[in-house]
Each structure stands twice: as C-alpha cells, then as structure tokens.
C-alpha cells in the first residue's frame, strides 16, 4: 500500500485495468464515428436523389422521379436506423428528410393524389411541415411554366394549391412558433404567392382584353 497525504493508504494503481477502460472507450468512439460517417453519407445521397427527383417532376418524368424518391426513402431509413442505434444526432438527416418530404408531396400533387402523411413518407412530422412549406416554391415553378405555354387554368390550379398550403400552415400558430425555420419559410411563401397571384391576374386581364378586341372587331365587320 502507498500512504496518501491524509494518512490513508491507497491501493496500488491498476495500470492494466485503466488501460483497458480507456482503450474500450476509444474503441466505442471510433465505432460511433464510423457509424456517423456512414449515416451522414446515406443522408447526403438521399438528399441528392430527392433534389434530382424534384427536377424530374418539373420536366414531366414522374415515373423516374418516383424511382429516385423510393431509393432516397430507403437510404433515409437506413441512415435513421444507424443514428437511432448509436444515439447519434445527424443534422444532415433532418435536412434530407425535408427534401424528401418536399419531393414526395410534390409528386403526389402532380398526380392529383392529394397530400401524403408523414407516416407514409417515413419522415418526422416537423420535417414534413418544413418540406411542405417548400412545396409552395415548387408549385410556383409549375404555375409560371403553365403561364408561359398559355395554360391559364393550370396556373390557377397551382396558385390555389399554393394558397391552400400557406393558409393551412399559417393557421397552425403553435407550429410556426415552436418549429424553427417555419416562420421564415412562410414569409418566403407569402411573397411567392403574391407574385404568382399578380402574374395570373395579369394574364387574366390580358385575355379579357384580347376577347374584348375580338368582339369589337366582329361587331365592326358586321353589315349595318
């Protein structure tokens, strides 16, 4: 035994035992870091696939978009499983879930199937709401394209969906207060809707003017 300053005898240091403790902890830390990297990579790949799917939706290739989103969903599930098993927090996983929710909701709307639930998409409810808010901007792209090709009816349909999403989210006051980032997304959504509404109204006015001019030309051309 070794005497301490207080006069008590201390047990000899068990250097071998301490080394095993430290090495065991270091090994667990290495395992956690490897798991973190794997989960992060899966989440990043899922996010890229979801972004690609959104572009495919806008180009009209809904089948390929669905394939990309299904693959993204599988990657997200794998990433979430790793994070849960290791009690890891992967910020990129949340962002990837938002992107995935955005893509899946947009695809469903373009097919006229309505709004899927968070459970159906396999994402956290909070990430679902944030992804839903971003759908407003994607619907604007559809509305603008519809106006470009002269499809006013479709542009009006897209605007109606944009307004429905915005008003529903804005009415959930607790969600906008408690969920970080949602208020900012709603502010952006409101601005986007106002701009789109102005473009749709301008196109309506232009068509009314054209119809009025045609009507006038018809009347002028009529025999007295």
CATH number 1.20.58.2140 given to 128-224? yes
Nearest to 93 by CA among 135, 153, 35, 16: 35
Report yes or no: 64 and 56 within 8 Å, Cβ to Cβ. yes
CATH 1.20.58.2140 spans which residues of the chain? 128-224
The percent of residues above 70 in pLDDT, for the chain, comes to 89
- State the pLDDT at residue 34: 87
Nearest to 204 by CA among 166, 138, 142, 159: 159
Tens digit of pLDDT for each residue in 53-62? 999 999 999 9
Token reading at 114: 């309505």
**Inter-axis angle of helices 91-110 and 15-59, nearest 10:** 20
d(CA 124, CA 132): 12
Report yes or no: 43 and 90 within 8 Å, Cβ to Cβ. yes
Tens digit of pLDDT for each residue in 168-216? 999 988 887 889 999 999 999 999 999 999 999 999 998 888 877 777 6
d(CA 37, CA 34): 5
Q: For 125, phi and psi rounded to 5 degrees?
A: -55, -40
How many CB atoms sit inside 10 A of residue 200's CB?
20
- State the pLDDT at residue 136: 98
């Amino acid at each position: 035994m070794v005497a301490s300053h207080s006069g008590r005898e201390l047990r000899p240091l068990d250097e071998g035992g301490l080394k095993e403790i430290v090495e065991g902890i270091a090994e667990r830390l290495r395992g956690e870091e490897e798991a973190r990297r794997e989960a992060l990579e899966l989440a990043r790949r899922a996010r890229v696939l979801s972004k690609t799917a959104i572009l495919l939706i806008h180009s009209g290739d809904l089948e390929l978009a669905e394939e990309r989103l299904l693959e993204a969903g599988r990657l997200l599930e794998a990433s979430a499983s790793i994070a849960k098993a290791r009690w890891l927090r992967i910020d990129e996983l949340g962002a990837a879930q938002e992107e995935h929710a955005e893509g899946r909701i947009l695809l469903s709307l373009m097919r006229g199937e309505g709004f899927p639930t968070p459970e159906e998409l396999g994402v956290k409810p909070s990430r679902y709401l944030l992804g839903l808010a971003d759908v407003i901007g994607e619907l604007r792209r559809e509305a603008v394209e519809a106006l470009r090709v002269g499809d006013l009816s479709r542009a009006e349909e897209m605007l109606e969906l944009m307004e429905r999403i915005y008003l529903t989210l804005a009415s959930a006051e607790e969600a906008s207060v408690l969920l970080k980032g949602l208020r900012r997304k709603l502010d952006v959504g409101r601005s986007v809707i106002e701009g789109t509404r102005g473009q749709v109204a301008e196109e309506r006015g232009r068509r009314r003017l054209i119809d009025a001019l045609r009507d006038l030309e018809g009347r002028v051309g009529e025999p007295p």
